[in-house]
């Protein structure tokens, strides 16, 4: 199937809109992810011993370094 110029322009327009939406919502996703990580760490510290708290802290550092960047 051969696309004419208007079809390729429509596809490019849709992809640009999706990219703009992602860039606009990226700070929201980052905030929610950080809130999730922090609440998980605080909950684990509250309900467990020191070793589990340390492991949860290490997991959080790993998550911040690798998942948020």
Q: Note the pLDDT of residue 65.
A: 76
Is 44 within a domain?
A: yes
| Tens-place pLDDT, residues 2-14 | 556 688 888 898 8
Question: How many distinct structural domains can be found in the chain?
Answer: 1
pLDDT confidence band for 20 (50 / 70 / 90): very high
Q: Note the pLDDT of residue 66.
A: 73
Is 5 within a domain?
A: no
DSSP 4-62: -HHHHHHHHHHHHHHHHHHHHHHHHHHHHHHHHHHHHHHHHHHHS-HHHHHHHHHHHHH
Q: Note the pLDDT of residue 17.
A: 93
Is 29 within a domain?
A: no
Q: The pTM is what?
A: 0.49
Which residues form the domain of 39?
34-69
Which residues, in sequence order, are CB contacts of 45 under 8 Å at separation 6+? 53, 56
Q: Note the pLDDT of residue 10.
A: 87
Is 55 within a domain?
A: yes
Is 56 within a domain?
A: yes
């Amino acid at each position: 199937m051969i696309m004419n110029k208007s079809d390729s322009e429509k596809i490019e327009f849709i992809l640009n809109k999706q990219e703009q939406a992602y860039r606009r919502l990226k700070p929201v996703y980052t905030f929610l992810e950080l809130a999730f990580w922090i609440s998980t760490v605080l909950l684990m510290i509250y309900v467990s011993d020191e070793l589990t708290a340390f492991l949860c802290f290490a997991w959080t550092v790993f998550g911040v370094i690798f998942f948020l960047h």
